[in-house]
């Protein structure tokens, strides 16, 4: 079926996306497995039949509620883009740019004809590098084109002073998902390293390198040395460890092997005076790596990074090589996406923080067609009840002092909410787009986004800016702006429906709202005050009591085995687990407020509270390929879906009451082992 021809929302939600079906949250639906008791496994009770019978689409690493909505949303966006191509937009208009970029990606014949020509200038510049100082300068220059080097440079709000923007540098420059992939001797990681070596060899061979085998071995060894000095992901989560404000003129003393002055010149930031050195000790190690690596190896490394970044826009041989590493090996995907799907994503974005080349422009078109004002109004009511419930919870906390509770309530009062879409769309007027220049379009887009980012310096903080497009199926909390944000695309079943009963909406999107609110009070978000500044507003006794509770949650999730011999990392996933637990508990409290207001009836065979928890479980419905699940266990701060569904409910008293749990039930936890934080 051509989904672009389906206009009705309810019809969209009932069709197949590949072989991965979305079952709307009706009660007693065919996705459930009645042979599994909810008291033993809520996740499989709600989703068991779906999990047994669903096939993951051949071009997907996983399949579940989020990915199905992504597919539905992408098909809607494709409808918009296909219509744009047929429209008669004026030259240089926003609609024309959207249509032309989409066309440039679809025009495979032109891509094949151009081959490497669009990158020849960049590759020639790398060939001309003669000294390590010139190499470091080029780190900064390539950053302007979206090409990663060992130094990641960006501009964001200052964690210590949220009223201003601050430049920051952090570790970067490796290809595999995490340092473990380079350092651990696990068979899967060894295979990944072998696949990386093959990938580097293929790209360098395709680009005409004189000795691609030797060069690829040097590049992979260089990445191995970078991984050795990188921080582990649990340390990268630490808001305090990653805030290291330095005067720029002091950096040579801090990491003398790096020519910071030429780096910033290459990055078009020669006037910097202060900077946050996010991963401080990494740069000391990087100094040694720079000194120990010959310039020829750096040239090969930088060529590879350019080719890797732009492979998706190059001829099919490059695209295939890129897919074999990132798709087949690292995510277990047997088949690449169609060119049309990739064109839609490149134009409009898809994942968290992924704008695509013209994501905001497409977003403006998307909300006009697919996001009715009544959805925003209904969401505002849900958010109001969640805020009210969270305040009640804060006021009732038995383990927190009156003084800290007051500061928590103050932070909650200052929290702002964004629903659906931005009120300030991005200005793409200076971005040049041509329908027959895919790689050149990508280069110009990267340069535009970089200029937009560094242009923030010395300007007021933009509180209207969004970190996601309306067509993103996700939500987020930004601690430095103290805001919760819910794009339009997540505001549809099974998370939210205008016609769904409150049990469905509060158990799903209500818990998502509560989750994002709770991020302001998780192990890291709680270190920021109501104005978004990194400061300690807790009493020592309260912080200790908080740590005792969070350590219980770490132990709980550490015990979950996701793959044979591989457990969830309770420390890495702590922030998300706190948000899931607190968000679900607060959503249930808000649901009680809703019931008091509306007097909702009992439906079908499930009581109100039972339907609330089933909706929560259905929202996390997901199947993973093994390689993808392994990658997530190493890199993802979220626990796998089944543990997100079952873990929090085992700590929530309302779940015990709703399903009348006894000590004989598998999800039962002794009362003194149940974790309550917020």
Quick one: pLDDT at residue 107? 97
Residue 132 forms part of a structural domain: yes
- Please give the residue that has the higher pLDDT: either 298 or 26: 298
| pLDDT grade for 30, boundaries at 50, 70 and 90 | confident
Q: Are residues 160 and 281 in the same domain?
A: yes
On whether the CB atoms of residues 347 and 102 are closer than 8 A, the answer is yes
In this predicted structure, what is the pLDDT of residue 598?
58
What is the pLDDT averaged over residues 70-90?
97
CA 284 to chain centre: 29
Whether 90 and 137 share a structural domain: no
Measured CA to CA, the distance from residue 391 to residue 190 in angstroms comes to 50
> Is residue 234 domain-shared with residue 89, that is, in the same domain?
no
| Structural domain includes residue 203 | yes
Give Dmax (Cα) for the chain.
76
254 and 127 inside one domain: yes
84 and 134, same domain (yes or no):
no
Mean pLDDT check: name the lowest of 78-82, 544-548, 601-605.
601-605
Phi-psi region of 20 (alpha: psi -120 to 50; beta: other; left: phi over 0): beta
What DSSP element (H or E) covers 452? helix 438-454
pLDDT for 353:
66
Query: Could you read off the pLDDT of 110-162 as tens digits, one per residue?
Result: 999 999 999 999 999 999 999 999 999 999 999 999 999 999 999 999 999 99
Look at residues 492, 531, 247 and name the one whose alpha carbon lies nearest to residue 375: 492
In-domain check, residue 525: no
Is 54 in the same domain as 163? Answer: no
> Has residue 439 been placed in a domain?
no
- 22 pLDDT band, cuts 50/70/90, is very low
Task: Clarify whether residues 128 and 89 are in a common domain.
Answer: no
CB contact set of 475 (below 8 Å; sequence gap of 6+) = 484, 485, 486, 487, 490, 512, 513, 515, 516
Q: How confident is the model at residue 355 (pLDDT cuts 50, 70, 90)?
A: confident
How confident is residue 254, by pLDDT bands cut at 50, 70 and 90?
confident
**Whether 124 and 88 share a structural domain:** no
Residue 191 inside a domain? The answer is yes
Pick the last residue of a domain from 285, 313, 341. Answer: 313
| Position 508 in a domain | no
The verdict on 139 and 172 lying in the same domain is: yes
Is residue 284 scored above 60 in pLDDT? yes
How far out from the chain centre does Cα 643 lie? 19
- Residue 449: which pLDDT band, with cuts at 50, 70 and 90? very high
Could you write out the three-class secondary structure of 303-367? Answer: HHHHHHHHHHHCCHHHHHHHHHHHHHHHHCCCCCCCHHHHHHHHHHCCCCCCCCCCHHHHHHHHH
CB contact at 8 A, 29 and 497: no
Contact 397/405 with Cβ under 8 angstroms? yes
Q: Residue 158 has what pLDDT? A: 98
Bridge partners for 419 per DSSP: 486
673: number of Cβ within 10 Å: 12
pLDDT of residue 351: 77
Q: 472 by DSSP, 3-state: which?
A: coil
pLDDT at 604: 58
SS (H, E, C) 117-156: HHHHHHHHHHHCCCCHHHHHHHHHHHHCCCCCCCEEEEEE
Q: How many angstroms separate the CA atoms of 495 and 621, rounded?
A: 11
Residues 246 and 284 in one domain: yes
Contact 475, 484 (CB under 8 A): yes
Domain boundary among 287, 313, 339: 313
Total structural domains within the chain: 2
What does the pLDDT read at residue 597? Answer: 58
Mean pLDDT, all residues of the chain: 93
Mind listing the pLDDT tens digit for each residue in 382-409? 999 999 999 999 999 999 999 999 999 9
Phi and psi based region of residue 461 (left: phi greater than 0; alpha: psi -120 to 50; beta: remaining): beta
The range of the structural domain enclosing residue 175 comes to 119-313
Q: What is the pLDDT of residue 69?
A: 95
Q: Please report, in angstroms and rounded to a whole number, the separation of the first and last CA atoms in the chain.
A: 46
Within a domain: 592:
no
Beta strands in 362-508 (DSSP E): 416-420, 476-478, 483-487
Please state the separation of Cα 216 from the chain's center in Å.
30
One domain for residues 138 and 283: yes
**Last residue of some domain: 257, 289, 313?**
313
d(CA 341, CA 351): 14
* Mean pLDDT value across residues 4-13: 29
What are the tens digits of pLDDT across the range 415-432? 999 999 999 999 999 999
Is residue 502, in this structure, part of any structural domain at all?
no
The domain that holds 201 is classified in CATH as 1.10.1380.10
Q: What percent of the chain has pLDDT over 70?
A: 94
pLDDT attached to residue 83: 97
Residues 189 and 291 in one domain: yes
Is 49 a residue whose pLDDT tops 60? Answer: yes
């Amino acid at each position: 079926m051509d989904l672009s021809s389906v206009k009705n929302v309810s019809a969209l939600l009932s069709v197949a996306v590949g072989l991965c079906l979305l079952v709307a949250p009706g009660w007693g639906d065919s996705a459930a497995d009645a042979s599994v008791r909810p008291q033993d496994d809520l996740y499989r009770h709600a989703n068991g039949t779906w999990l047994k019978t669903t096939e993951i689409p051949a071009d997907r690493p996983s399949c579940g509620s989020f990915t199905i909505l992504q597919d539905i949303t992408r098909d809607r966006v494709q409808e918009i883009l296909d219509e744009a191509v047929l429209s008669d937009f004026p030259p240089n208009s926003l609609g024309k740019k959207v249509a032309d970029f989409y066309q440039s990606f679809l025009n495979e014949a032109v891509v094949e004809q151009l081959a490497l020509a669009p990158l020849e200038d960049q590759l020639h510049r790398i060939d001309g590098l003669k000294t390590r100082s010139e190499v470091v300068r080029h780190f900064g220059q390539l950053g302007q084109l979206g090409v990663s080097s060992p130094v990641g440079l960006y501009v964001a709000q200052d964690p210590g002073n949220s009223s201003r923007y601050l430049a920051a540098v952090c570790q970067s420059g490796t290809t595999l998902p995490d340092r473990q992939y380079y350092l651990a001797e696990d068979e899967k990681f060894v295979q990944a390293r072998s696949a990386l070596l093959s990938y580097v060899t293929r790209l360098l061979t395709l680009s005409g390198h004189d000795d691609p085998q030797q060069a690829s071995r040097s590049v992979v060894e260089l990445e191995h040395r970078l991984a050795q000095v990188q921080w582990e992901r649990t340390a990268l989560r630490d808001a305090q460890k990653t805030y290291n404000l330095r005067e720029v003129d002091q950096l040579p003393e801090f990491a003398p092997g790096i020519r910071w002055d030429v780096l910033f010149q290459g990055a078009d930031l020669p006037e910097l005076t202060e900077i946050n050195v996010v991963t401080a000790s990494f740069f000391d190690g990087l100094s040694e790596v720079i000194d120990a690596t010959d310039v020829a190896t750096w040239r090969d490394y930088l060529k590879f990074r350019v080719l890797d970044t732009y492979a998706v826009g190059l001829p099919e041989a490059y695209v295939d090589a890129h897919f074999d590493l990132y798709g087949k090996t690292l995510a277990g995907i047997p088949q690449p996406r169609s060119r049309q799907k990739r064109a839609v994503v490149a134009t409009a974005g898809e994942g968290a923080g992924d704008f695509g080349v013209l994501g905001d422009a497409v977003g403006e078109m998307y909300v006009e067609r697919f996001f009715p004002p009544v959805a925003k109004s209904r969401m505002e009511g849900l958010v109001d009840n969640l805020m009210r419930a969270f305040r009640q919870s804060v006021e009732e906390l038995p383990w927190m002092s009156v003084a800290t509770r007051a500061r928590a309530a103050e932070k909650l009062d200052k929290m702002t909410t964004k629903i659906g879409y931005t009120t300030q769309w991005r200005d793409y007027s200076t971005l040049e787009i041509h329908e027959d220049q895919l790689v050149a379009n990508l280069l110009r887009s990267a340069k535009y986004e970089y200029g937009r980012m560094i242009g923030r310096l010395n300007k007021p903080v933009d509180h209207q800016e969004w970190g996601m497009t309306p067509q993103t199926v996700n939500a987020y909390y930004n601690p430095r702006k103290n805001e919760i944000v819910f794009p339009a695309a997540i505001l549809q079943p099974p998370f939210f429906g205008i016609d769904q009963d409150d049990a469905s909406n509060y158990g799903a999107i209500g818990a998502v709202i509560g989750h994002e609110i709770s991020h302001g009070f998780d192990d890291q978000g709680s270190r920021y005050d109501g104005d978004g500044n990194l400061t300690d507003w807790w009493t020592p006794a309260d912080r200790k009591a908080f740590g005792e509770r969070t350590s219980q949650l770490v132990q709980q999730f550490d015990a979950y085995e996701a793959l044979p011999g591989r457990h969830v990392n309770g420390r890495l996933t702590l922030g998300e687990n706190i948000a899931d637990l607190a968000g679900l508990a607060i959503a249930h409290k808000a649901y009680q407020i809703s019931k008091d207001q509306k007097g909702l009836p009992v439906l079908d065979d499930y009581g109100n509270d039972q339907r609330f928890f089933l909706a929560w479980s259905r929202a996390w419905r997901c199947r993973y390929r093994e390689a993808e699940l392994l990658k997530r266990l190493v890199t993802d701060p979220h626990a796998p879906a089944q543990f997100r569904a079952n873990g929090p409910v085992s700590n929530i008293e309302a779940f015990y009451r709703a399903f009348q749990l006894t000590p004989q039930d598998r999800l039962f936890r002794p009362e003194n082992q149940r974790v309550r934080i917020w």
